[in-house]
Structure 1
Protein backbone atom coordinates (compact mmCIF):
# COMPACT_ATOMS: atom_id res chain seq x y z
CA UNK A 1 0.00 0.00 0.00
CA UNK A 2 1.12 3.56 -0.59
CA UNK A 3 2.03 5.60 2.46
CA UNK A 4 1.23 9.29 2.96
CA UNK A 5 4.31 11.10 4.22
CA UNK A 6 3.23 14.65 5.04
CA UNK A 7 0.67 17.40 4.73
CA UNK A 8 -0.31 19.10 1.50
CA UNK A 9 2.57 20.72 -0.40
CA UNK A 10 2.97 22.52 -3.71
CA UNK A 11 4.79 21.00 -6.65
CA UNK A 12 7.64 23.47 -6.16
CA UNK A 13 8.03 22.33 -2.55
CA UNK A 14 7.91 18.72 -3.68
CA UNK A 15 10.70 18.99 -6.26
CA UNK A 16 12.83 20.98 -3.81
CA UNK A 17 12.73 18.15 -1.26
CA UNK A 18 12.28 14.93 -3.25
CA UNK A 19 13.87 12.68 -4.21
CA UNK A 20 15.81 12.61 -0.96
CA UNK A 21 18.90 10.59 -0.11
CA UNK A 22 16.99 7.45 0.85
CA UNK A 23 16.74 6.10 -2.69
CA UNK A 24 12.96 5.85 -2.26
CA UNK A 25 10.55 6.90 -5.03
CA UNK A 26 7.86 9.48 -4.35
CA UNK A 27 4.92 10.89 -6.24
CA UNK A 28 2.63 13.83 -5.55
CA UNK A 29 -1.13 13.30 -5.55
CA UNK A 30 -3.06 16.58 -5.36
CA UNK A 31 -0.49 18.04 -2.99
CA UNK A 32 0.00 14.91 -0.89
CA UNK A 33 3.45 13.28 -1.00
CA UNK A 34 3.16 9.53 -1.43
CA UNK A 35 5.95 7.01 -0.92
CA UNK A 36 5.83 4.39 -3.65
CA UNK A 37 6.07 0.71 -2.65
CA UNK A 38 9.19 -1.22 -3.58
CA UNK A 39 8.37 -3.10 -6.82
CA UNK A 40 8.67 -6.87 -7.14
CA UNK A 41 11.21 -8.56 -9.38
CA UNK A 42 8.45 -9.62 -11.81
CA UNK A 43 7.35 -5.99 -12.09
CA UNK A 44 10.88 -4.86 -12.92
CA UNK A 45 11.50 -7.66 -15.44
CA UNK A 46 8.45 -6.54 -17.41
CA UNK A 47 9.73 -2.96 -17.44
CA UNK A 48 13.16 -4.12 -18.66
CA UNK A 49 11.54 -6.23 -21.38
CA UNK A 50 9.28 -3.43 -22.61
CA UNK A 51 11.98 -0.76 -22.48
CA UNK A 52 14.26 -2.98 -24.57
CA UNK A 53 11.60 -3.74 -27.20
CA UNK A 54 10.47 -0.12 -27.43
CA UNK A 55 14.04 1.17 -27.70
CA UNK A 56 14.74 -1.23 -30.54
CA UNK A 57 11.56 -0.11 -32.31
CA UNK A 58 12.06 3.65 -32.12
CA UNK A 59 15.70 3.19 -33.08
CA UNK A 60 14.68 1.11 -36.10
CA UNK A 61 12.25 3.83 -37.15
CA UNK A 62 14.82 6.58 -36.69
CA UNK A 63 12.66 8.48 -34.20
CA UNK A 64 14.27 10.97 -31.84
CA UNK A 65 12.78 9.36 -28.78
CA UNK A 66 14.31 8.22 -25.51
CA UNK A 67 13.47 6.44 -22.26
CA UNK A 68 14.80 8.39 -19.25
CA UNK A 69 15.70 7.04 -15.84
CA UNK A 70 13.94 9.58 -13.63
CA UNK A 71 11.53 12.15 -15.05
CA UNK A 72 8.38 13.60 -13.52
CA UNK A 73 5.14 14.00 -15.44
CA UNK A 74 3.20 16.98 -14.12
CA UNK A 75 -0.42 17.74 -15.04
CA UNK A 76 -0.92 21.50 -15.30
CA UNK A 77 -4.33 21.46 -13.67
CA UNK A 78 -3.38 20.17 -10.22
CA UNK A 79 -0.56 19.76 -7.71
CA UNK A 80 0.36 16.25 -8.81
CA UNK A 81 3.52 14.72 -10.24
CA UNK A 82 4.08 11.14 -11.36
CA UNK A 83 7.14 9.01 -11.96
CA UNK A 84 5.84 6.46 -14.50
CA UNK A 85 7.18 2.94 -14.67
CA UNK A 86 8.19 3.66 -18.25
CA UNK A 87 8.10 7.01 -20.01
CA UNK A 88 8.84 7.58 -23.68
CA UNK A 89 10.08 11.09 -24.40
CA UNK A 90 9.95 13.01 -27.64
CA UNK A 91 13.37 14.62 -27.31
CA UNK A 92 12.69 17.28 -29.93
CA UNK A 93 9.98 18.89 -27.79
CA UNK A 94 12.00 19.21 -24.60
CA UNK A 95 13.17 22.66 -25.67
CA UNK A 96 9.56 23.78 -25.14
CA UNK A 97 9.32 22.37 -21.61
CA UNK A 98 9.74 25.16 -19.03
CA UNK A 99 10.61 22.81 -16.16
CA UNK A 100 12.87 20.43 -18.07
CA UNK A 101 16.34 21.91 -17.57
CA UNK A 102 16.14 22.48 -13.83
CA UNK A 103 13.65 19.85 -12.68
CA UNK A 104 13.59 17.11 -15.37
CA UNK A 105 9.82 17.54 -15.46
CA UNK A 106 7.53 17.41 -18.49
CA UNK A 107 4.08 18.97 -18.70
CA UNK A 108 3.22 18.84 -22.41
CA UNK A 109 1.61 15.96 -24.26
CA UNK A 110 3.89 16.67 -27.23
CA UNK A 111 6.81 15.50 -25.07
CA UNK A 112 5.14 12.18 -24.21
CA UNK A 113 4.30 9.82 -27.10
CA UNK A 114 3.72 6.95 -24.67
CA UNK A 115 3.47 6.39 -20.93
CA UNK A 116 3.33 2.96 -19.27
CA UNK A 117 2.30 1.83 -15.80
CA UNK A 118 2.83 -1.76 -14.63
CA UNK A 119 0.10 -2.48 -12.10
CA UNK A 120 1.01 -3.32 -8.51
CA UNK A 121 -0.91 -3.31 -5.23
CA UNK A 122 -1.85 0.36 -5.59
CA UNK A 123 -3.74 -0.46 -8.81
CA UNK A 124 -6.40 2.20 -8.32
CA UNK A 125 -3.78 4.88 -8.98
CA UNK A 126 -3.07 3.48 -12.45
CA UNK A 127 -6.69 2.79 -13.41
CA UNK A 128 -8.28 5.90 -11.94
CA UNK A 129 -6.14 8.87 -10.95
CA UNK A 130 -3.27 8.55 -13.42
CA UNK A 131 -5.67 7.49 -16.15
CA UNK A 132 -7.71 10.67 -15.63
CA UNK A 133 -4.70 12.96 -15.44
CA UNK A 134 -2.89 11.46 -18.44
CA UNK A 135 -6.12 11.80 -20.41
CA UNK A 136 -6.59 15.40 -19.28
CA UNK A 137 -3.01 16.21 -20.28
CA UNK A 138 -3.71 14.88 -23.76
CA UNK A 139 -1.10 12.11 -23.71
CA UNK A 140 -1.90 10.19 -26.87
CA UNK A 141 -1.17 6.66 -25.66
CA UNK A 142 -1.17 5.05 -22.21
CA UNK A 143 -0.45 1.37 -21.52
CA UNK A 144 -1.64 -0.36 -18.35
CA UNK A 145 0.12 -3.70 -17.85
CA UNK A 146 -1.90 -5.73 -15.35
CA UNK A 147 0.13 -8.96 -15.41
CA UNK A 148 -1.06 -9.99 -11.94
CA UNK A 149 -4.77 -9.41 -12.65
CA UNK A 150 -4.97 -6.99 -9.72
CA UNK A 151 -7.34 -4.39 -11.17
CA UNK A 152 -11.03 -4.11 -10.50
CA UNK A 153 -13.47 -6.42 -12.32
CA UNK A 154 -14.90 -3.45 -14.22
CA UNK A 155 -11.50 -3.08 -15.89
CA UNK A 156 -10.28 -6.65 -16.42
CA UNK A 157 -13.47 -8.69 -16.23
CA UNK A 158 -14.75 -11.55 -14.11
CA UNK A 159 -13.06 -13.86 -13.44
CA UNK A 160 -10.01 -11.63 -13.30
CA UNK A 161 -7.22 -12.45 -15.72
CA UNK A 162 -3.95 -10.80 -16.77
CA UNK A 163 -4.79 -7.95 -19.12
CA UNK A 164 -2.83 -5.49 -21.21
CA UNK A 165 -4.75 -2.26 -21.81
CA UNK A 166 -3.90 0.24 -24.54
CA UNK A 167 -5.60 3.60 -23.99
CA UNK A 168 -5.62 5.78 -27.11
CA UNK A 169 -6.75 9.39 -27.10
CA UNK A 170 -9.68 10.07 -29.43
CA UNK A 171 -11.45 13.43 -29.37
CA UNK A 172 -10.06 14.19 -25.93
CA UNK A 173 -11.00 10.86 -24.33
CA UNK A 174 -9.26 7.51 -24.04
CA UNK A 175 -10.55 4.57 -26.01
CA UNK A 176 -9.49 1.36 -24.28
CA UNK A 177 -8.46 -1.82 -26.09
CA UNK A 178 -7.78 -4.94 -24.03
CA UNK A 179 -5.35 -7.72 -24.92
CA UNK A 180 -4.86 -11.14 -23.34
CA UNK A 181 -3.01 -14.36 -24.12
CA UNK A 182 -1.86 -14.54 -27.73
CA UNK A 183 -3.51 -11.24 -28.71
CA UNK A 184 -1.04 -9.07 -30.60
CA UNK A 185 -0.68 -5.63 -29.02
CA UNK A 186 -2.08 -2.88 -31.26
CA UNK A 187 -0.22 0.39 -30.69
CA UNK A 188 -0.78 3.55 -32.73
CA UNK A 189 2.67 4.79 -31.68
CA UNK A 190 4.36 1.59 -32.87
CA UNK A 191 1.98 -0.12 -35.31
CA UNK A 192 4.62 -2.64 -36.44
CA UNK A 193 5.55 -3.73 -32.92
CA UNK A 194 5.21 -7.52 -32.89
CA UNK A 195 4.42 -8.47 -29.31
CA UNK A 196 1.64 -10.46 -27.70
CA UNK A 197 0.18 -9.89 -24.27
CA UNK A 198 1.49 -13.26 -23.09
CA UNK A 199 5.04 -12.49 -24.21
CA UNK A 200 4.97 -9.37 -22.06
CA UNK A 201 3.42 -11.15 -19.07
CA UNK A 202 5.97 -13.98 -19.33
CA UNK A 203 8.79 -11.45 -19.05
CA UNK A 204 7.93 -11.31 -15.37
CA UNK A 205 8.35 -15.06 -14.87
CA UNK A 206 11.92 -15.46 -16.08
CA UNK A 207 13.66 -18.11 -13.97
Structure 2
Protein backbone atom coordinates (compact mmCIF):
# COMPACT_ATOMS: atom_id res chain seq x y z
CA UNK A 1 0.00 0.00 0.00
CA UNK A 2 1.14 3.54 -0.74
CA UNK A 3 1.79 5.46 2.47
CA UNK A 4 2.13 9.21 2.79
CA UNK A 5 4.26 10.71 5.53
CA UNK A 6 2.16 13.35 7.32
CA UNK A 7 3.78 16.78 6.88
CA UNK A 8 4.26 18.82 3.74
CA UNK A 9 7.86 19.48 2.77
CA UNK A 10 9.73 21.31 0.04
CA UNK A 11 11.59 19.49 -2.71
CA UNK A 12 14.94 20.36 -1.11
CA UNK A 13 13.76 19.06 2.27
CA UNK A 14 12.66 15.85 0.54
CA UNK A 15 16.08 15.37 -1.08
CA UNK A 16 17.84 16.03 2.25
CA UNK A 17 15.46 13.65 4.05
CA UNK A 18 15.63 10.77 1.57
CA UNK A 19 17.29 7.89 3.46
CA UNK A 20 20.40 6.41 1.84
CA UNK A 21 20.33 2.71 0.97
CA UNK A 22 16.66 2.53 1.86
CA UNK A 23 14.78 -0.65 0.97
CA UNK A 24 11.77 1.57 0.34
CA UNK A 25 11.14 3.89 -2.59
CA UNK A 26 9.72 7.38 -2.16
CA UNK A 27 8.42 10.21 -4.30
CA UNK A 28 7.25 13.72 -3.50
CA UNK A 29 3.74 14.56 -4.67
CA UNK A 30 2.89 18.25 -4.23
CA UNK A 31 4.78 18.46 -0.95
CA UNK A 32 3.69 15.07 0.42
CA UNK A 33 6.27 12.30 0.78
CA UNK A 34 4.74 9.12 -0.61
CA UNK A 35 6.06 5.61 -0.09
CA UNK A 36 5.82 3.75 -3.40
CA UNK A 37 5.05 0.01 -3.47
CA UNK A 38 8.13 -2.16 -3.95
CA UNK A 39 8.22 -3.27 -7.61
CA UNK A 40 7.21 -6.83 -8.39
CA UNK A 41 9.61 -9.09 -10.23
CA UNK A 42 7.66 -8.64 -13.46
CA UNK A 43 7.70 -4.86 -13.06
CA UNK A 44 11.48 -4.88 -12.65
CA UNK A 45 11.89 -7.34 -15.54
CA UNK A 46 9.96 -5.09 -17.95
CA UNK A 47 11.77 -1.95 -16.81
CA UNK A 48 15.11 -3.68 -17.31
CA UNK A 49 14.11 -5.01 -20.72
CA UNK A 50 12.98 -1.60 -21.97
CA UNK A 51 16.11 0.09 -20.61
CA UNK A 52 18.32 -2.54 -22.22
CA UNK A 53 16.62 -2.24 -25.62
CA UNK A 54 16.91 1.55 -25.54
CA UNK A 55 20.58 1.35 -24.56
CA UNK A 56 21.32 -0.99 -27.48
CA UNK A 57 19.42 1.26 -29.90
CA UNK A 58 21.26 4.36 -28.69
CA UNK A 59 24.62 2.63 -29.07
CA UNK A 60 23.77 1.12 -32.45
CA UNK A 61 22.61 4.47 -33.88
CA UNK A 62 25.35 6.42 -32.04
CA UNK A 63 22.81 8.84 -30.61
CA UNK A 64 23.97 11.52 -28.12
CA UNK A 65 21.75 10.11 -25.37
CA UNK A 66 22.24 8.02 -22.21
CA UNK A 67 20.19 6.20 -19.57
CA UNK A 68 21.20 7.13 -16.01
CA UNK A 69 21.01 4.48 -13.30
CA UNK A 70 19.15 6.90 -11.01
CA UNK A 71 17.48 10.22 -11.65
CA UNK A 72 14.93 12.49 -9.96
CA UNK A 73 12.61 14.66 -12.06
CA UNK A 74 11.55 17.94 -10.47
CA UNK A 75 8.66 19.56 -12.33
CA UNK A 76 8.47 23.31 -11.79
CA UNK A 77 6.89 25.08 -9.97
CA UNK A 78 5.45 22.23 -7.88
CA UNK A 79 7.09 20.68 -4.83
CA UNK A 80 7.25 17.26 -6.45
CA UNK A 81 9.94 14.75 -7.33
CA UNK A 82 9.59 11.56 -9.37
CA UNK A 83 11.94 8.68 -10.14
CA UNK A 84 10.94 7.16 -13.50
CA UNK A 85 11.39 3.47 -14.22
CA UNK A 86 13.56 4.47 -17.18
CA UNK A 87 14.66 7.79 -18.63
CA UNK A 88 16.67 8.83 -21.66
CA UNK A 89 18.67 12.04 -21.29
CA UNK A 90 20.40 14.27 -23.83
CA UNK A 91 24.16 14.35 -23.14
CA UNK A 92 24.55 17.94 -24.31
CA UNK A 93 21.41 19.35 -22.70
CA UNK A 94 22.17 18.05 -19.19
CA UNK A 95 25.21 20.31 -19.12
CA UNK A 96 22.76 23.18 -18.57
CA UNK A 97 21.07 21.43 -15.64
CA UNK A 98 21.95 23.35 -12.45
CA UNK A 99 21.72 20.30 -10.16
CA UNK A 100 22.67 17.37 -12.34
CA UNK A 101 26.40 17.17 -11.62
CA UNK A 102 25.99 16.95 -7.85
CA UNK A 103 22.53 15.50 -7.29
CA UNK A 104 21.25 13.65 -10.42
CA UNK A 105 18.25 15.99 -10.49
CA UNK A 106 16.56 17.07 -13.73
CA UNK A 107 14.63 20.34 -13.74
CA UNK A 108 14.55 21.25 -17.46
CA UNK A 109 12.29 19.32 -19.80
CA UNK A 110 14.59 19.76 -22.80
CA UNK A 111 17.19 17.59 -21.04
CA UNK A 112 14.87 14.61 -21.42
CA UNK A 113 14.20 12.69 -24.65
CA UNK A 114 11.94 10.01 -23.17
CA UNK A 115 10.46 8.89 -19.86
CA UNK A 116 9.08 5.41 -19.13
CA UNK A 117 6.76 4.46 -16.28
CA UNK A 118 5.69 0.87 -15.57
CA UNK A 119 2.15 0.87 -14.18
CA UNK A 120 1.47 -0.68 -10.77
CA UNK A 121 -1.29 -0.31 -8.20
CA UNK A 122 -0.84 3.48 -8.12
CA UNK A 123 -1.86 3.71 -11.79
CA UNK A 124 -3.58 7.09 -11.34
CA UNK A 125 -0.17 8.69 -10.83
CA UNK A 126 1.11 7.47 -14.19
CA UNK A 127 -1.98 8.20 -16.27
CA UNK A 128 -2.96 11.54 -14.72
CA UNK A 129 -0.53 13.19 -12.30
CA UNK A 130 2.77 12.42 -14.04
CA UNK A 131 1.35 12.73 -17.54
CA UNK A 132 0.25 16.30 -16.79
CA UNK A 133 3.57 17.16 -15.14
CA UNK A 134 5.73 15.71 -17.93
CA UNK A 135 3.56 17.42 -20.54
CA UNK A 136 3.91 20.78 -18.77
CA UNK A 137 7.71 20.32 -18.67
CA UNK A 138 7.76 19.84 -22.43
CA UNK A 139 9.17 16.31 -22.33
CA UNK A 140 8.81 15.10 -25.93
CA UNK A 141 7.76 11.52 -25.27
CA UNK A 142 6.34 9.53 -22.36
CA UNK A 143 5.70 5.77 -22.38
CA UNK A 144 3.19 4.14 -20.02
CA UNK A 145 3.68 0.36 -19.87
CA UNK A 146 0.54 -1.13 -18.32
CA UNK A 147 1.33 -4.84 -18.47
CA UNK A 148 -1.58 -5.86 -16.19
CA UNK A 149 -4.19 -3.58 -17.74
CA UNK A 150 -4.73 -1.76 -14.44
CA UNK A 151 -5.51 1.70 -15.82
CA UNK A 152 -9.02 3.09 -15.81
CA UNK A 153 -11.28 2.45 -18.82
CA UNK A 154 -10.99 6.11 -19.82
CA UNK A 155 -7.26 5.52 -20.36
CA UNK A 156 -7.06 2.00 -21.85
CA UNK A 157 -10.62 1.31 -22.99
CA UNK A 158 -12.92 -1.63 -22.34
CA UNK A 159 -12.34 -4.51 -21.93
CA UNK A 160 -9.23 -3.58 -19.98
CA UNK A 161 -6.22 -5.28 -21.54
CA UNK A 162 -2.45 -4.93 -21.22
CA UNK A 163 -1.70 -1.66 -23.01
CA UNK A 164 1.41 0.27 -24.02
CA UNK A 165 0.69 4.00 -24.35
CA UNK A 166 3.01 6.35 -26.23
CA UNK A 167 2.41 10.04 -25.44
CA UNK A 168 4.04 12.34 -27.98
CA UNK A 169 4.24 16.11 -27.46
CA UNK A 170 2.50 17.98 -30.31
CA UNK A 171 2.02 21.76 -30.00
CA UNK A 172 2.56 21.55 -26.25
CA UNK A 173 0.07 18.72 -25.62
CA UNK A 174 0.45 14.96 -25.50
CA UNK A 175 -1.16 13.01 -28.33
CA UNK A 176 -1.64 9.46 -27.06
CA UNK A 177 -1.34 6.29 -29.14
CA UNK A 178 -2.17 2.94 -27.57
CA UNK A 179 -0.75 -0.42 -28.62
CA UNK A 180 -1.68 -3.99 -27.65
CA UNK A 181 -0.74 -7.57 -28.41
CA UNK A 182 1.34 -8.04 -31.54
CA UNK A 183 1.11 -4.38 -32.55
CA UNK A 184 4.46 -2.69 -33.15
CA UNK A 185 5.16 0.18 -30.75
CA UNK A 186 5.61 3.41 -32.73
CA UNK A 187 7.92 6.04 -31.22
CA UNK A 188 8.72 9.50 -32.50
CA UNK A 189 11.97 9.73 -30.54
CA UNK A 190 13.07 6.23 -31.59
CA UNK A 191 11.44 5.57 -34.99
CA UNK A 192 13.85 2.65 -35.52
CA UNK A 193 12.37 0.81 -32.52
CA UNK A 194 11.15 -2.61 -33.65
CA UNK A 195 9.27 -4.15 -30.75
CA UNK A 196 5.72 -5.38 -30.27
CA UNK A 197 3.79 -5.02 -27.03
CA UNK A 198 3.91 -8.80 -26.50
CA UNK A 199 7.69 -8.75 -26.84
CA UNK A 200 7.89 -6.14 -24.07
CA UNK A 201 5.30 -7.68 -21.79
CA UNK A 202 6.23 -11.29 -22.62
CA UNK A 203 2.54 -12.19 -22.56
CA UNK A 204 3.04 -15.19 -24.84
CA UNK A 205 4.87 -17.11 -22.11
What band does the TM-score fall into relative to the shorter chain? over 0.9
Q: Which structure features the higher share of strand residues?
A: 2
Cross-structure match for 2:54? 54
**Cross-structure match for 1:176:** 176
Checking the alignment, whether the CA contact within 8 Å between 1:5 and 1:33 is kept in structure 2 is yes
Once the two structures are overlaid, the 10-residue window that deviates more, 15-24 or 127-136, is: 15-24
SS at match of 2:202: helix
Q: Is the 8 A contact 1:146 1:162 kept in 2?
A: yes
State whether residues 19 and 26 of structure 1, in contact with CA within 8 Å, keep that contact through their aligned partners in structure 2: no
- 1:6 is paired with a residue whose SS is strand
Give the distance between the partners of 1:114 and 1:19, measured in 2 at CA. 27
Asked if the contact 1:86–1:115 (Cα under 8 Å) also holds between the matched residues in 2, the reply is yes
SS in 2 for 1:35: strand
Residue by residue, what CA displacement relative to the aligned partner does 1:81-127 show, whole Å, maximum 9, x if unpaired?
10001111112111100111222100112211000000000000000
Partner SS state of residue 117, structure 2: strand
Pairwise CA distance, 1:64: 2.0
Q: TM-score, normalised by structure 2?
A: 0.96
Aligned-residue Cα RMSD (Å) equals 1.3
Q: Which residue of 2 aligns with 1:120?
A: 120
Runs of 4+ in 1 over 3 A off after TM superposition: none
Q: Contact (CA 8 Å) 1:19, 1:25: kept in 2 or not?
A: no
Say if 1:24 and 1:35, in contact at 8 Å, map to a contact too.
yes
Name the structure, 1 or 2, with higher relative contact order (CA <8 Å, separation 6+): 1
Q: Give the structure 2 partner of residue 190 of structure 1.
A: 190
Q: By how many angstroms is 1:77 displaced?
A: 1.7
Residue in 2 aligned with 1:130?
130
Gapped regions of structure 1 (runs ≥ 5):
none
